[in-house]
Structure 1
Amino acid sequence: MLKVQEIREIIKLIDQSSIDEFVYESEGSKIKMKKHAQDKGVVVSQQPLQVVQAVPAAQPAPVAQPAPASLAPVQQPEAAAAGNDQEELHKIVSPMVGTFYQSPSPEADPYVKPGSKISSDSVVCIVEAMKLFNEIEAEVNGEIVEVLVKDGQLVEYGQPLFLVKATGER
């Protein structure tokens, strides 16, 4: 377990960086820090953990970058019905390179599917990277319009995973 002074130094470093969220896990303890205005704080738990939220050390992925035409997802009928202008939709992007999983286990139901209502802290999928299963949160309130990747598919850093019709504030 980290000492109080070490935790203070981490808080100071996170506060001065562009990182919005930081998670540290060691020997069954977990420290999670968020810089979101509504969620500032530190959480420390002493329980065994199975799933860890990881945060990339690099700058956050730009959300507004369109995919090259050759890599753009094929628009599904439900996306066309929700509106032809995808500019109005929020994209939930992968924070890392890894394998996309839509459910916590192969026999479980997907976290979300088109039409699912989500809040900003809703887990929408898991991205596995280096044997760590990282829960990906929506970070926006709204409704899932389209799932852009298939279960078990490799995803890249910044790759759009979901299209969300956002409602209210993030």
Structure 2
Amino acid sequence: MKRFLSVFGLLAVSAFAAQAADIVDTAVSAGSFKTLVAAVKAAGLVETLKSPGPFTVFAPTDEAFAKLPAGTVEGLLKDPEKLKKILTYHVVAGKVMAADVVKLKSAKTVEGENVKITVAGSKVMVNQANVVKTDIACDNGVIHVIDTVIMPKK
């Protein structure tokens, strides 16, 4: 009986560990953030977004990146510093869940500038981007999916 409980305990721990993932692993698993993940790698931000955080990421989908003018993504992938500035503009320090986002008018990003948060009924926007899915929990924060890549002013 003890052996059964030990094996069951190990299986339960293994199942829990398999479900837990950081922001990068969660984005990879989702399958709709291939461009974002490639950009995070090119900008050298993988280690940061795998660190304890916590972080809140407003994550543009592949479709959001596809809205950018032709050649923009390719150009950014060749300019890690500019890319890093844009990507960190999508990240807020701390774990901000949807219930908290609706109480805010703005949030300071890791890049240093604020993003504007607008709530109208059930619609939430970050700058000009619609939040299309919220509260994707990660070990080191949360992801909110947006439909547009947001750009810092500077």
**TM-score, normalised to structure 2's length?**
0.29
Q: Which has the higher strand share?
A: 1
- Higher RCO (CA < 8 A, seq sep 6+): 2
Greater percentage in helix:
2
- TM-score normalised according to structure 1 size: 0.27
